[in-house]
Structure 1
Amino acid sequence: MGGTEKVEESLKSERSKQVTSEAKPDFRKRLLITLDSFRDGGSEAVWWSVWWMFMVAAVYSRLHYITMPYRVVWDEAHFGKMVGWYINRTFFMDVHPPGGKLLLALFGYLGGYNGTHSFATPNTPYDGYHGIMPMRVGCALLGAGMIPMGFHTVWVLTRSLPTAALAATLLTFEVGTITLSKFILLDPLLMFFVLASFHGLCLSHNAADRSFTRSWWLSYTYTGIMLGCVMSVKFVGLFVVGVVGCYAALDLWNMLGQTYRPLVNVMQHLVSRVLCLILLPAVIYLAVFCIHDHLLFKAASVFAAEEAHFSPGFQMTLKDNQLNNVSQPDEVAYGSVVTLRNDNLAGVYLHSHNLTYPERVFPKKLQQVTGFRAKDINNHFKLLFPEEDPDLSDGFYSGEPEFLAHGDWVRIYHTATSALLSCGKNKSLITTKHNLVYARPYNLTDPPQVDAASEVFNVDPSKISSAGVSPWQMWMVHLEGGKPGDKVRTLHSRIQFLCIPNNCALTWPRAPLPVTWGGGQAEVTCSNNLKDPYTTWMVEQHFNPYLKNKTFTHLRSGFVSRLVESHRVMTWVNSRLKPVGEQRYNSHRPWMWPVCFKSQVWYDVNFRIVLLGNPVIFWINLVFLFVAPLLLLHHYYKHKRGYTPSPRLAERKERIVFAVKWLFLAYLLHYVPFYTMDRILYYHHYFPALQFSSMLTAVVLGYFLESLPSWLSPDTARLAFHWTTASFFAIFAYSFHKFCYVGYGHPTVSGFNPDNSTFKDIRFFDEWEI
């Protein structure tokens, strides 16, 4: 019996070895079958497995280190304040449309944030404040949504699973995109809606042969909704609007050239695109602005500069603003105290203060007169007769009030510093072709005698006031469209103040004074161009207890007026965002972006975060940006030479050509326009274009990999495909491993030291502060 058992055990052992030896080739065979299924994209299970794999990678990569640091980082100081203002219903002005900030506020509201954190400066801690991290998580999830969006976009364009996977890999492992997605910023929202809009374009093209079916209408409606969303986040969303618009116009043009198609059908397509791609986005944008306008109904404070960018009619709609339900005299009299506002877009208030112009230029210590965009006591001026001073103890004139009218002369007296507005013979410091405007001390109770000869040349002495006031301190009132006897009216009249000896008008030349001695306030001068529109002023606030008050509610702006004015102000402020001082060093020019030439430090207080893209992905993308147009030229060359591929190959090439053409156009429209902008630019402005560049790289690379069978034998092509694909995945993953904590951030002991840095071995350029 013992011998028999040993024989049976021996047989079992041999069978086990045989099964094991047979299992090995079965595993390799199954692996190759899976890889072949991945290459062919024929298995639905493999497709969904790949999709879910990237979905998990996207969410994990964006949520990793989401709370680090637990402090305000870079522009979170900017947008975090705005979230608080939305929650507290406080008005503010920003250069971007309100949609993105409203979405951030929604994240905060759903997370329980009460809007009380100051977000004063970067590095302000979040400790003790609930609901701030949900805003970061909301941004990160939208950033993660870009990966499945990009994956499906490329899949719809090419019907190639490897190409879609390559696109998702490039989007997943791009370090700079992750950095932008982890914080309370508009960038993840913008990039998500940009990709979603292009995704809708691709779905619409895919449904072109099913016109007016349910799927066709859904694809165009989806595209229109995403266009409305992207325009509501930032104005650069208009770039993707341009891409979709070009596609729609070209599509309609091709339909018009199809003589077999009835003209009625072409008109139906035109109307449907107008409805979905123009009216629907416009309605969404207007609805977003309406919500914004409805929420922000309180002024920040009575002296806030936020609402001072806007017209008096706009300010009247804000609770707690000085002009809200204002009651003040209508007709302006001598002795009244007024504020004078330049009657132009974002006009400044006439302002003065106890600071002088530089002594090296004006040794007489002339007091500055500037333009200031905030309600301040230093904006108050008293309007005096040319010669007589107020005779009442409260600073007003006795007797019946005399009203200021067209053609009258007036002295403009700054009440806070007891000085008269004057126009010198000197040229202004910044706008040198204009005359200098300054304030000269003047005591109303005991006016000094002025030696006119020291200040006035070629003027009849009889015109010099006996009270010691020179013509340089008297201004002629000229009403726009006025005639003699027309009175100056508060908030209604448009006025020029003319200095007759210099033949010039008080104006705002839109130039800022140096920060060092002028605080960056606006320059106010006297211009010889009397037709300059910036020489026009208005009386905004009017104080005179001896005159009857009236209300001005009829001047309140309506919704349409507020909408138009808000966009004019946003455009004006955006155009004036020029790099100044240290900003010149931190700003980036567009040529630097594709080569990943320069980094941008976001945070460096015991934890260092640097915005730097994955350079491997940037440089590979740059190569394929040159290859892509060559591929298109090759295709059109062969087409012109009469080459006719097989129907299956022709369909594949048609897909590839469409994908390359529109991805390349989308990249150009999101990148090239920045060369025309002279405003301050940063590295993050490139990242919407980068997403198209990455998808373009995937499409071109995928096309070359799928073309291997036409160059190699089937078995060799199969192996070359798998090894090449695996190599690219490995390169991208390894580059992510090397650079990811540049963007995620890492603890530091002290400030940046290039010679003792964790990442000094991978610093390719000196401009990389890593």
Structure 2
Amino acid sequence: MNITYDAMSKCAKEVTDQGNCSGGDGGYGAKRLLTWWRLLGLFVVLALATRFYCIDTPYNVVWDEAHFGKMIGWYLNRTFFLDVHPFGGKLLLTLFGYLGGYNGTHSFEMPSLPFDDYVGILPMRMGCALIGSALVPLAFITIWQLTESLSAATTAAILITFEIGTITLTKFILLDPPLFFFIMASFHGLVVFHNQQRRPFALKWWLALTYCGMMLGCVMCIKFVGLFVVLVVGTYTAHDLFLKFGQPRLSLLTFLSHLMARVLCLIVVPAVLYVAVYAIHEKILYKTKTTAGADESCWSPGFQMQLEGNPIYNVTQPKYVTYGSIVTLRNAHLCGVYLHSHNHTYPNTSTAANRQQVTGFPAKDHNNLFRILFPEEDPDKSDSFYSGRPEYVSHGDWVRLHHIFTNSVIACSTNRSIMTRDHKLIYGEPYNLTSKESVIVKPAPNTLWEVQIEDGPEGNLGVSALESRVRFVCPYVKCGLSWSLSSLPVTWGFGHGEITCNRNLRQKRTSWIVEQIFNPHLPNTTFKHLQTGFWSRFWETHQVMTFINSRLKPRGRDLYTQHRPWMWPLLLRSHMWYDVSYRIVLFGNPAIFWINFIFLLVAPGILVATAFRMRRAAAARGEINVIMKDGVSYEIATRHCTGEKSRVDKNDNSSEERLVNALRWLLLAYFLHYVPFYFMNRIVYFHHYFPALHFSCMLTAVVFGYIVDIWLPRRLSAQRASVVIPAITTAFYGIVCVSFLVYCHVGYGHVTVGEFNPDNSTFRRVRLLEEWEF
């Protein structure tokens, strides 16, 4: 059956007008609006109360506050640092500290350090708690705008309000509060935009689309897991454009306008926002760290040269390497380590027993200094340099690498390396360097290294500081000096990088950069031409962040299995956070977790059953028509305009359609925030589940709204429904609240005496699973 849009509009108007003639709707609408505002105000108060309760207890560093507290101090002191997360979240925490008067002097060295006598710590926690409190009204508004169901919106707010783990994560100085907020705000922006689809290119349509894009940009500035909500919005956008592309009455120009509007607001706006936040980050941080472990090797020389206090900041030094020069060698691989040695030996249990360690160190250190020696001649001057005209190290030369502080030379063994078994061992061979007269020596063949310049040969002036990429190949073993990417054990190797000899000379890990040259007998030159520009630094920063993130591997099988993703939805394990005379455990509300899991199983069934019933019923009556106006498609059920269709049935159908549509997108959002963790080969923790948990709570709210607003009224008489529905609602909310009251002290924390003992625990009677650590 084909009908025109005007005829359809006339019919819809007549049905609506008849429904509105019953009278009393104005009073009902005003009463419902008043209820809406009262509920919103109530949940704002509850959210603030639950988040700010015991916010100063313990007044010590808790869990990852030790991590992000340091970074806030570095921002306030303008000290450049490396982190695997983007910059916006840390800048926001720094803003809280700055507004609260914090001066960045607390060390945040480790958990349990007290905050006494430090100003501005509590305002940072309060800022996080305020953002965490905003999750509750935001969830309420999002579900309301998605479903127009007060039952669903109220349920969503209650579940977020009384979720214990969310409270714990949003009252400390962490990135989780802004991450959770901007993820939910991004989804809210998507809902607002969806509700404006009937008026394309209107002002509210543009504002909604821009708001969604800005929230996406903000969430990507917090953590890269924000990509998951980007995928949700991207999937919706692709689906929406696909439907528009199939509309025969939509002109190509109008379709392209829709496409470009989305590109502008959902791609360009977030990208500009992200780059702007990075620019602020870089503008603030311009000093280098002066402490050990500065991770300087992660940055290219051109990057380091612009950090005040860095040894190569505005450096002037010899341009080319000559024999006798003292140099530092940095591996050319991304985040490459410095060649390093010290007075420690490999363990007696290995084939390298009692041999001096040669390692890779990530920061500048005096033990990174090596002297370039002729293959068979020692320096003859009193300052350990060669006399006569300087001789430059060229492509194909053989050299020895002498470690000046341990008086040893780098040697290659035919034995396997300790960590990377297909590589050869590198160690320090003791060597007494003569400094008073020239001595001809017969070096061991495994201490000689052939210099291979990657772009060489370059003649006599071969190895250029900061520019040349050089390989050191041991002709005796036929392998190249390399960084294996593995780390030595902390117990004897201090966690340093493993230096090996690699037969595969094509790998970038066999290339080295001469970063610093010390030779008072050579003229110095500047290297300002090597300083990198803004976009080069932007690209390099993200390369480094990606590389470091990929190396966050589990360090122990037990740690890795304790927090596997399949455990999260059922709350099979908890996560101990703090246990120094006060115990805090990251733990969810069991009732919420288990109800969510049940409703996750129910939701797909509701979708299938509803779609089957609605399509079959409409098709049997021949009532489905798809019409289009202003570039938007409408699927309308055609009815004869006899006035017999009641307003109640009409609203019932539209409510069901909204609820079902909400289920689709909330299910997608949940799985996109949960399933990817099964494929991550990195450390995963319980707190990674909470963005998915919040979507699960909203999904549960929609299903519950469907049950009490649609399913039960269809199956019960009005009299029974007036009794059963309030009873079910009260029982549902009561279970959630009672579970919160029973377990909330686990998340808020409680005083302990001595170490945790599961048999004498205060909460042993409510510990339903042995893996719950409280």
Name 2:602's counterpart in structure 1. Answer: 627
Contact 2:151 2:709 in 1 (8 A): no
Long gaps (5+) in structure 2? 1-24, 620-636, 638-648
Cα distance in 2, alignment partners of residues 271 and 582 from structure 1: 49
Name 1:88's counterpart in structure 2. Answer: 77
**Are residues 696 and 381 of structure 1, via their aligned partners in 2, closer, same or farther at CA, if it must alter by over 3 Å?**
same
1:756 matched to 2:760? The reply is yes
The Cα of 1:749 is off from its aligned counterpart by 2.2
The Cα of 1:654 is off from its aligned counterpart by 1.7
Name 2:721's counterpart in structure 1. Answer: 717
Cα distance in 2, alignment partners of residues 369 and 38 from structure 1: 82
1:125-140 paired onto structure 2 within 5 Å = 125-140=114-129
The Cα of 1:249 is off from its aligned counterpart by 1.0
SS in 2 for 1:358: coil
Contact 1:420 1:473 in 2 (8 A): yes
1:335-350 paired onto structure 2 within 5 Å = 335-350=324-339
The Cα of 1:429 is off from its aligned counterpart by 1.2
Task: Indicate the structure (1 or 2) with the bigger Cα radius of gyration.
Answer: 1
The Cα of 1:364 is off from its aligned counterpart by 5.7
Cα distance in 1, alignment partners of residues 521 and 440 from structure 2: 28
Contact 2:569 2:593 in 1 (8 A): yes
The Cα of 1:653 is off from its aligned counterpart by 2.2
Q: Percent identity?
A: 55
Contact 1:586 1:600 in 2 (8 A): no
Of the candidates 465, 471, 474, which is equivalent to residue 445 of structure 2?
471
The aligned amino acid for 2:442 is G
Of the candidates 35, 59, 62, which is equivalent to residue 46 of structure 1?
35
Of the candidates 460, 468, 492, which is equivalent to residue 517 of structure 1?
492
- Give deviations 1:379-422, integer Å, cap 9, x for gaps: 10000000000001101000111000001110000001000111
Of the candidates 531, 537, 559, which is equivalent to residue 506 of structure 2?
531
The Cα of 1:236 is off from its aligned counterpart by 0.2
The aligned amino acid for 1:610 is V
Of the candidates 682, 689, 694, which is equivalent to residue 692 of structure 2?
689
Which aligned segments of 4 or more residues in structure 1 are displaced greater than 6 angstroms?
A: 36-41
1:480 matched to 2:454? The reply is yes
Cα distance in 2, alignment partners of residues 282 and 471 from structure 1: 55
Cα distance in 1, alignment partners of residues 28 and 591 from structure 2: 24
The Cα of 1:709 is off from its aligned counterpart by 1.6
Contact 2:379 2:435 in 1 (8 A): no
Cα distance in 1, alignment partners of residues 325 and 201 from structure 2: 68
Contact 1:71 1:125 in 2 (8 A): yes
Cα distance in 2, alignment partners of residues 741 and 309 from structure 1: 43
Name 1:606's counterpart in structure 2. Answer: 581
The aligned amino acid for 1:348 is V
The Cα of 1:351 is off from its aligned counterpart by 0.7
SS in 2 for 1:436: strand
Name 2:315's counterpart in structure 1. Answer: 326
Of the candidates 664, 667, 689, which is equivalent to residue 667 of structure 2?
664
Contact 2:384 2:435 in 1 (8 A): no
Of the candidates 648, 651, 654, which is equivalent to residue 654 of structure 2?
651
Cα distance in 1, alignment partners of residues 282 and 579 from structure 2: 37
The Cα of 1:267 is off from its aligned counterpart by 0.9
Name 1:29's counterpart in structure 2. Answer: none
Cα distance in 1, alignment partners of residues 599 and 265 from structure 2: 34
The Cα of 1:484 is off from its aligned counterpart by 5.9
Equivalences, count: 718
Cα distance in 1, alignment partners of residues 182 and 110 from structure 2: 29
TM-score, normalised via structure 2 length: 0.91
1:439-454 paired onto structure 2 within 5 Å = 439-445=428-434
Contact 1:93 1:307 in 2 (8 A): no
Cα distance in 2, alignment partners of residues 341 and 681 from structure 1: 32
Name 2:9's counterpart in structure 1. Answer: none
More deviation in 512-521 or 279-288? 512-521
**Are residues 482 and 585 of structure 1, via their aligned partners in 2, closer, same or farther at CA, if it must alter by over 3 Å?**
closer
The Cα of 1:700 is off from its aligned counterpart by 0.5
1:278 matched to 2:267? The reply is yes
Of the candidates 680, 683, 688, which is equivalent to residue 683 of structure 2?
680
The Cα of 1:446 is off from its aligned counterpart by 8.8
Name 2:370's counterpart in structure 1. Answer: 381
Cα distance in 1, alignment partners of residues 193 and 352 from structure 2: 71
More deviation in 704-713 or 139-148? 704-713
Contact 1:58 1:147 in 2 (8 A): yes
1:154-303 paired onto structure 2 within 5 Å = 154-301=143-290
1:537-616 paired onto structure 2 within 5 Å = 537-581=512-556, 584=559, 587-616=562-591
The aligned amino acid for 2:56 is T
Cα distance in 1, alignment partners of residues 435 and 274 from structure 2: 61
Cα distance in 2, alignment partners of residues 338 and 696 from structure 1: 61
**Are residues 364 and 246 of structure 1, via their aligned partners in 2, closer, same or farther at CA, if it must alter by over 3 Å?**
closer
Contact 1:37 1:46 in 2 (8 A): no
**Are residues 45 and 570 of structure 1, via their aligned partners in 2, closer, same or farther at CA, if it must alter by over 3 Å?**
same
**Are residues 139 and 761 of structure 1, via their aligned partners in 2, closer, same or farther at CA, if it must alter by over 3 Å?**
same
Cα distance in 2, alignment partners of residues 109 and 363 from structure 1: 52
Contact 1:38 1:47 in 2 (8 A): no
Cα distance in 2, alignment partners of residues 340 and 142 from structure 1: 47
Name 1:455's counterpart in structure 2. Answer: none
Contact 2:589 2:739 in 1 (8 A): yes
Cα distance in 2, alignment partners of residues 507 and 436 from structure 1: 10
SS in 2 for 1:509: strand
The aligned amino acid for 1:687 is F
More deviation in 741-750 or 278-287? 741-750
Contact 2:340 2:369 in 1 (8 A): yes
Cα distance in 1, alignment partners of residues 168 and 403 from structure 2: 51
Contact 1:494 1:538 in 2 (8 A): yes
SS in 2 for 1:413: strand
TM-score, normalised via structure 1 length: 0.91
The Cα of 1:440 is off from its aligned counterpart by 0.3
